[in-house]
Amino acid sequence: MSESTENSENSESAESTNMTAAGEGSAAGEALRPHAEDTFAAELTALAAADDRPRPERWRLSPWAVATYLLGGTLADGTVITPKYVGPRRIVEVAVTTLATDRALLLLGVPGTAKTWVSEHLAAAVSGDSTLLVQGTAGTPEESIRYGWNYARLLADGPGREALVPSPVMRAMAQGMTARVEELTRIPADVQDTLITILSEKTLPIPELGQEVQAVRGFNLIATANDRDRGVNELSSALRRRFNTVVLPLPATPDEEVDIVARRVAQIGRSLQLPPAPEGLDEIRRVVTVFRELRDGGTADGRTRLKSPSGTLSTAEAISVVTNGLALATHFGDGVLRPGDVAAGILGAVVRDPAADRVVWQEYLEAVVRERDGWKDFYRACREVSA
Ligand SMILES: Nc1ncnc2c1ncn2[C@@H]1O[C@H](COP(=O)(O)OP(=O)(O)OP(=O)(O)O)[C@@H](O)[C@H]1O
Ligand SMILES: [Mg+2]
């Protein structure tokens, strides 16, 4: 069990029989959510074969191929690489390039802007392994970033390398791989500071053994942080200097957001074994329109000003509203996504604070939804669930 990279959050799963050693992926075919490197193994292999550009040491692909993996494209042999991230190309190029330098990468943005998603795919493309992961919480101990001890071994054999339980970061350093730290700014400041030595000296001392682990070429670290619920100010300036910060924006246009939602819903639907919903695009567009208008505090045509609800109404939430709607349509409807299937989900996403948000929603419903051409069914469905 000491070999497991499971962090404390996942510790129950260590008991289950389905446990795989990190990167082994033997349960990939069965896993509810396979790692990126397993889901897109064929694309990664095709990219590696087509890639004749220089690769930084221990990288599976060149920076160009990593960017192509994220943004999508067609290779010379006709292999289609699906876009994983939809957004400005430059952002991806800067992120990938940072990983090839001696600075770590900090992905910053409001909730649901694909920070975790991009971090996973970057690690998968660069190192072929996205599982060297530390989940940051207010309770993340120093051991999750440095190392811990297997106490049975420690008592039996005394302190030694065998009794040491390396953290994902330590393993990434030793193997020249990409480590990931999720929600960096939730980690207590003194624990965050553990990263300073790692990132600036590229070494992790083990004073108990009088040893150290030195990072080998290929090691780097991707952290994500949310700039909404707790500020990035909490990142000490000493640590911040070790990172190149890349801000992931909200989708620029409605079309872009519809495209992201449709793509992800199709993917998630496949993994949940839901049949494809070809006529769902109208409903997706509607969800995205509602979310964007409420988020922006005004209708798309600029005529009506609106109050914004307390929730974030991110792309990620739009994806889950549509996925749930699709499941409803499949199990209780005729398989076609209809207004009634998304109305309850939208209400749940918008009305987080039962008092204030409900007023915002009612105003939007009566002032905008009711008046809009072609939205009659949707208005009726919303009225039904709002009552
Ligand atoms: N620009 C985008 N391109 C592709 N997918 C996107 C984009 N924006 C959001 N998504 C999708 O949104 C979902 C949620 O993203 P993710 O969990 O990575 O967000 P996050 O920024 O880490 O949010 P949080 O701050 O809540 O952790 C993913 O399924 C991702 O595919
Ligand atoms: Mg995240």
| One domain for residues 116 and 173 | yes
Greatest pairwise CA separation for the chain in angstroms: 76
Predicted confidence at residue 278, as pLDDT, reads 64
Answer for the pair 196, 188: CB distance below 8 angstroms, yes or no.
no
Ligand 1: does its nearest atom lie under 6 Å from the Cβ of 86?
A: yes
Give the CATH number of the domain where residue 123 resides: 3.40.50.300
> Which of 278, 382, 277, 385 has its CA nearest to residue 330?
277
State the distance from the centre of ligand 1 to the C-alpha of 250, rounded, in angstroms: 10
Answer for the pair 112, 292: CB distance below 8 angstroms, yes or no.
no
> Which of 5, 381, 387 has its CA nearest to residue 169?
5
Among all bound ligands, the one having the nearest atom to the CA of 226 is: 1
Residue 35 lies in a domain: yes
Ligand 1: does its nearest atom lie under 6 Å from the Cβ of 114?
A: yes
Residue 1 lies in a domain: no
| One domain for residues 232 and 321 | no
Ligand 1: does its nearest atom lie under 6 Å from the Cβ of 316?
A: yes
Residue 3 lies in a domain: no
> Which of 296, 376, 309 has its CA nearest to residue 346?
309
State the distance from the centre of ligand 2 to the C-alpha of 303, rounded, in angstroms: 34
Determine phi and psi for 226, rounding to 5 degrees. -100, 130
**Final residue of a domain: which of 247, 273, 295?**
247
Q: Look at ligand 1, atom 26, and give the residue with the nearest C-alpha.
A: 111
| One domain for residues 191 and 240 | yes
State the distance from the centre of ligand 2 to the C-alpha of 308, rounded, in angstroms: 23
Predicted confidence at residue 18, as pLDDT, reads 55
State the distance from the centre of ligand 2 to the C-alpha of 182, rounded, in angstroms: 7
* DSSP designation for 182: E
Ligand 1: does its nearest atom lie under 6 Å from the Cβ of 109?
A: yes
Ligand 1: does its nearest atom lie under 6 Å from the Cβ of 264?
A: yes
The conformational region for residue 119 under phi > 0 = left, psi -120 to 50 = alpha, else beta, is alpha
| One domain for residues 201 and 70 | yes
Predicted confidence at residue 217, as pLDDT, reads 97
Residue 2 lies in a domain: no
Q: Supply 268's token pair.
A: 């998630």
- Look up the domain containing 318 and give its range: 254-386
Place of tokens 């990434």: 172
Answer for the pair 345, 321: CB distance below 8 angstroms, yes or no.
yes
Predicted confidence at residue 269, as pLDDT, reads 84
What's the domain count of the chain?
A: 2
* Amino acid (one-letter) located at 11: S
Q: Look at ligand 1, atom 5, and give the residue with the nearest C-alpha.
A: 85
Q: Using N-to-C axis directions, what is the helix angle for 168-175 and 194-201, rounded to 10°?
A: 10
* DSSP designation for 58: T
**Final residue of a domain: which of 209, 231, 247?**
247
Residue 226 lies in a domain: yes
Ligand 1: does its nearest atom lie under 6 Å from the Cβ of 62?
A: no
State the distance from the centre of ligand 2 to the C-alpha of 279, rounded, in angstroms: 30
| One domain for residues 235 and 266 | no
* DSSP designation for 305: B
Q: How far is CA 22 from the centre of its chain?
A: 19
Q: What are the contacts of 232-238 at 24+ separation with CB within 8 A?
A: 232/108, 232/185, 234/185, 234/189, 235/106, 235/184, 235/185, 235/192, 236/189, 236/192, 236/193, 236/196, 238/193, 238/196
Q: What is the mean pLDDT of each run of 10 residues along the chain (387 residues)?
A: 42 48 54 91 97 97 98 94 95 98 94 96 98 94 96 94 96 98 92 94 96 97 83 75 95 94 89 73 93 93 90 92 92 89 93 91 94 94 89
Cα torsion angle, 278, 329, 270, 23, sign: positive
| One domain for residues 110 and 200 | yes
| One domain for residues 135 and 266 | no
Q: Distance between CA atoms of 349 and 355, rounded to whole angstroms?
A: 14
Ligand 1: does its nearest atom lie under 6 Å from the Cβ of 87?
A: yes
| One domain for residues 141 and 82 | yes
State the distance from the centre of ligand 1 to the C-alpha of 198, rounded, in angstroms: 28
| One domain for residues 51 and 72 | yes
Contacts of 267 (CB under 8 A, 6+ apart): none
Predicted confidence at residue 273, as pLDDT, reads 80
| One domain for residues 215 and 297 | no
Predicted confidence at residue 234, as pLDDT, reads 76
Ligand 1: does its nearest atom lie under 6 Å from the Cβ of 291?
A: no
Pocket test for ligand 1, best of 315, 321, 323 (most atoms within 8 A of CB): 315
> Which of 145, 240, 160, 153 has its CA nearest to residue 200?
240
Q: Distance between CA atoms of 125 and 25, rounded to whole angstroms?
A: 16
| One domain for residues 340 and 198 | no
State the distance from the centre of ligand 2 to the C-alpha of 53, rounded, in angstroms: 31
Predicted confidence at residue 235, as pLDDT, reads 84
Ligand 1: does its nearest atom lie under 6 Å from the Cβ of 115?
A: yes
pLDDT tens for residues 37-62? 999 999 999 999 999 999 999 999 99
| One domain for residues 12 and 158 | yes
Residue 158 lies in a domain: yes
Answer for the pair 87, 259: CB distance below 8 angstroms, yes or no.
no
Predicted confidence at residue 22, as pLDDT, reads 52
**Final residue of a domain: which of 195, 226, 247?**
247
Residue 363 lies in a domain: yes
Predicted confidence at residue 13, as pLDDT, reads 44
Q: Is 7 exposed, middle or buried (0-12, 13-18, 19+ CB in 10 A)?
A: middle
Q: Distance between CA atoms of 351 and 321, rounded to whole angstroms?
A: 13
